[in-house]
Structure 1
């Protein structure tokens, strides 16, 4: 039996709809993976502190992108350092002391505690917001998109309040 114009048109529409859904799902997944990837570089040091050097840094000097100061150890096996480097962000000010974790094999440190954990996941919050737009518009899953957007806003708000 030959294909009728209507059945071939319906098959084309189904294939196009599937292609659009697959493409948008891939884009949303890539955005979320990029958010986790961007966050995990710092989050792993802050969240998995067992066996890492923990201590405090008193910020004495700040440049355009980094701040430096002496490191005072708080964990066993940690050694004092005359100067360590911490990223200069809105969360770091000259003259203040912060709890930090030393990145293995370097003199770079990241903030620890609740503020450090939340701040390390900021890229994920942005990725949730961006992916929610793709999910709502491309996949037409508005409830899922609202949950994603709400999660991203909650994370970014918690960071703002904590820092």
Structure 2
């Protein structure tokens, strides 16, 4: 693991210090998202504790987030990328993804992947390429897992 890194742009900061993250904000955005709807706050805390996280801040207010699940050697999975309402449309999402891609851990990984159904143009501008090869990528998908698991707990 490397030390916490910081990127600056105008009055904005991207910081990899997980202790600075506004967990209730991250939880609220994810719980109301299309990709993690219904996720519980304890699940969010666990995911953050086991990932390389990037918080974007304007002053003390968190305005964005991205998370990379990685083994820090060969593979990374970019996920949970967001910029809060009211802050979009100013290139902040692109800057957030580019900052993730500039992190020394990600620079040495053989493969960084993501799955998304929104803003493919944004990820393409940041170096990601769509995989459209028949049976090349496989997954197990449980889109309603948070609804089932959170109610059971």
Scaled by the length of structure 2, the TM-score of the pair is: 0.24
Higher helix share: 1
